[in-house]
Amino acid sequence: MKAVVKNNVGLFTPQGFLDANNNSAFLSIDDIEATLKLKVDMILVSMKKVIFFNRNGLDVFIKLFTRVRKTSSTIVGFCDYNKKQYNSIKQFYKNEINFSLFKNIEIAYLFSSNFADKEKKILIYSDDKHQRSAMAIELHNNGHYPVMTQTLEEFDDKRLNIDAYDFIIDNTYLGEMGNMIASKVSGNAIIYTVISYLDADINDTFHIQYHNNSLNIGFRLFIFDAYKVISMNVHALNFFTKLAGAAAEYNANIAFVGLSFDKTPEVFKENLEDAGILFYDQMDDILENKKLLKELGASSAANIKNKRSINKATVTELPRFIDATVATIEMMTNSKAIKEAAQVHNIVIEEKEGKIASSIGYYGDLDGMVILVFPTQIAKKACELLIGEETDDMELILDTLAELVNIVGGKIKTLLSNDDINVNITLPRTYQEIDSLLEVVQDKKGVQVDLSFSDNKFLFFLTR
């Protein structure tokens, strides 16, 4: 069985009956390893479509979960169960639960450190006070506003006020959690949340590949939310100094917000400043200051020191990139896509109104970025198969467009691997405004291909 990966969560959805007769059939170590390769934060088994299970039916999942936890920090567990199923699972494993239980997948996403949707108000209840605290801490670290209730009465009372909370969490249990540094995207900035003591462990907990990919696809401002940092040692200092050096090559900025030097030598601050790292007291000092934001982030994309151009290796593989895009759009629309023109130049978008875009980066034996620009109506049509109904909900359309571009990325990966060229793909990024896209790519030279299907035009742009 293959996992569906969304918001960095790999989800397996068995259907029907889970018992001793079939427990090894639904999930294999190969399935798990293939999902882990996608750098997911969580691997979960959904119980939404399971009508019957017994302990024998779950044991194989639990063994695989244990195996995952031995070698990675990926969170593992079950989700989408009802109260009866939740109680049964807890009863089966009593004091041996080292996996997590999330009432539904939306609640699981909240605990994923890389989930983009942040700042949610969340009501929490668990009859285990340690669990209540653990959930509140995790959610707070992930940028949400948890509200803990101490008793069931208090919870029942507060939950009546439905409008006061974005999410209500009960019947949820946190097993061993991940220890990676949380990241979120705010406009054109990426915010990392660091806590406690910063030491050599930061080399393991900071997702350097994610950071490098973010640089490659055009992010230029990285903020470390350090309100909860107590101190740092020389190993962490060296790490941040190197990070700043690498960022400078892209003309990117790194800033610390809220870092106190009560227990950290002041000389560290000087060293970090010398490396180009900026310090601010409050997050709003940056995020609410549009002029400063522009100086630090958005406008800097045009001043990349390490301006990279399209190279021969990329051009050689161009037909595969186009094939992957055309095949995906044809698959999603059942219309024939036609290549109209291909030219090497900076991206040219004649009419910016009424268009949306999405990009995905790839790295490995080759690296670069694919950008697709669609008229909004056409993007909606291309996403119909995934959405299943007509919608004007722009958030849903952009979300689905990201999924579509993810499919294009997957197809590119497959086509290149046929030629022994191995690449990984980044998370897709979407742009509701074409100007936001241009801020990232307007100075990059690439191959622009105008494509059309059913007389509707869209644009493919491949750059580095």
Partner 1 sequence: MVKKEDIDEFIKKIPPAPEVLKKTIALLNVGDLQKAAIVAEEDLALKSYLKDIVNKPIYGFKNEVNEISQIFGILGVSQSQQTVYNYMINLLSPSKWLLFKLNKKSFHDLQANLSIKWSIILQHLNIDDKNITASISLLPSAIIVAEALFNKYIDDVNLLRTTKALDYNTILYRISNFTLFDICEKIATKWEMDKLISEIIQASSGLNPSDDEELNKLAKWMHLLLFYELSQQMFVDAGLNDFIDFQIEFVGDIYEEFATIMDIS
Give residues in contact with partner 1 (CB under 8 A): 1-6, 11, 13-19, 21-22, 24-26, 48-52, 54, 327-328, 330-332, 334, 384-386, 388, 403, 406-407, 410-411, 414
Between 254 and 423, whose beta carbon lies closer to partner 1? 423
The span from the CA of 9 to the CA of 235, in Å, is 31
Between 29 and 51, whose beta carbon lies closer to partner 1? 51
Between 289 and 414, whose beta carbon lies closer to partner 1? 414
Between 20 and 164, whose beta carbon lies closer to partner 1? 20
**Considering the complex, what minimum distance in angstroms separates the CB of residue 213 from partner 1?**
19
**Considering the complex, what minimum distance in angstroms separates the CB of residue 406 from partner 1?**
6
Between 299 and 334, whose beta carbon lies closer to partner 1? 334
Between 10 and 297, whose beta carbon lies closer to partner 1? 10
Going 139 to 143 to 144 to 147, the CA torsion angle's sign is positive
Side chain identity at residue 73, one-letter code:
S
Q: Which helix (H) or strand (E) holds 196?
A: strand 189-198
**Considering the complex, what minimum distance in angstroms separates the CB of residue 44 from partner 1?**
13
**Considering the complex, what minimum distance in angstroms separates the CB of residue 122 from partner 1?**
26
The span from the CA of 227 to the CA of 208, in Å, is 21
The span from the CA of 145 to the CA of 136, in Å, is 8
Between 21 and 282, whose beta carbon lies closer to partner 1? 21
**Burial letters 131-153, b for 16+ CB under 10 A, else e:** ebebbbebbebbbbebbbbeeee
The span from the CA of 366 to the CA of 425, in Å, is 11
Between 84 and 130, whose beta carbon lies closer to partner 1? 84
**Considering the complex, what minimum distance in angstroms separates the CB of residue 34 from partner 1?**
10
**Considering the complex, what minimum distance in angstroms separates the CB of residue 51 from partner 1?**
6
φ, ψ (nearest 5 deg) of residue 205: -90, -15
**Considering the complex, what minimum distance in angstroms separates the CB of residue 56 from partner 1?**
11
The span from the CA of 164 to the CA of 161, in Å, is 6
Q: Reduce the DSSP state of residue 153 to 3 states and report it.
A: helix
Radius of gyration of the chain (CA): 23
Structure tokens belonging to residue 412: 């590119």
- What string of DSSP letters covers 206-265? S-HHHHHHHHHTT--EEEEEEEEEEEE-HHHHHHHHHHHHHHHHTT-EEEEES---SSS-
Which residues sit opposite 447 in a β-bridge? Answer: 344, 462
The span from the CA of 280 to the CA of 332, in Å, is 46
Which H, E and C letters describe 398-426, residue by residue? HHHHHHHHHHHHHHHHHHHHCCCCCEEEC
φ, ψ (nearest 5 deg) of residue 298: -55, -45
Between 358 and 406, whose beta carbon lies closer to partner 1? 406
Contacts of 346 (CB under 8 A, 6+ apart): 442, 443, 444, 445, 446
**Considering the complex, what minimum distance in angstroms separates the CB of residue 367 from partner 1?**
22
Between 18 and 272, whose beta carbon lies closer to partner 1? 18
**Considering the complex, what minimum distance in angstroms separates the CB of residue 281 from partner 1?**
42
Name the packing angle between helices 29-36 and 55-71 (round to 10°): 40
Between 150 and 422, whose beta carbon lies closer to partner 1? 422
**Considering the complex, what minimum distance in angstroms separates the CB of residue 29 from partner 1?**
15
Side chain identity at residue 20, one-letter code:
A
Structure tokens belonging to residue 443: 């100075």
Strand bridging mode 368-375 / 100-102: unpaired
Q: Which helix (H) or strand (E) holds 93?
A: helix 83-93
Between 244 and 324, whose beta carbon lies closer to partner 1? 324
**Considering the complex, what minimum distance in angstroms separates the CB of residue 321 from partner 1?**
15
**Considering the complex, what minimum distance in angstroms separates the CB of residue 1 from partner 1?**
7
